[in-house]
Amino acid sequence: MGQSKQLLPLDGKPIIRHCIDTIIAADIDEIIVVLGHDNEELLKTLRGLPVKTVFNEEPGSDMASSVRIGLRAVNPYASGVLVSLSDHPLISEETLQNLLRLYSEEPDKIIIPVYKEKRGHPTLFPLHVIDEIFKGGTLKDVISRDPKRIRAVEVMDEGVIIDIDTMEDYERVVLIMSRGGSKCRTL
186 has a pLDDT exceeding 50: no
List the domains of the chain with CATH numbers.
5-178 (3.90.550.10)
Closest by Cα among 1, 68, 88, 4 to 42: 4
- State phi, psi for 134 to the nearest 5 degrees: -75, -15
Using pLDDT thresholds of 50, 70 and 90, give the confidence band for residue 179: confident
Q: What is the pLDDT of residues 24-82, one digit of tens each?
A: 999 998 999 999 877 889 999 999 999 999 999 887 788 899 999 999 999 999 999 99
Using pLDDT thresholds of 50, 70 and 90, give the confidence band for residue 185: very low
Q: What is the mean pLDDT of residues 89-103?
A: 96
CA distance 71 to 130: 9
187 has a pLDDT exceeding 50: no
To the nearest 10 degrees (0 to 180), the angle between helices 15-25 and 93-105 is 40
110 touches 129 (CB < 8 A)? yes
Q: What is the mean pLDDT of residues 114-124?
A: 97
Q: Among residues of the chain, what percentage have pLDDT more than 90?
A: 82
Using pLDDT thresholds of 50, 70 and 90, give the confidence band for residue 169: very high
* Res 141: pLDDT: 93
More confident residue, 96 or 136: 96
- State phi, psi for 41 to the nearest 5 degrees: -70, -40
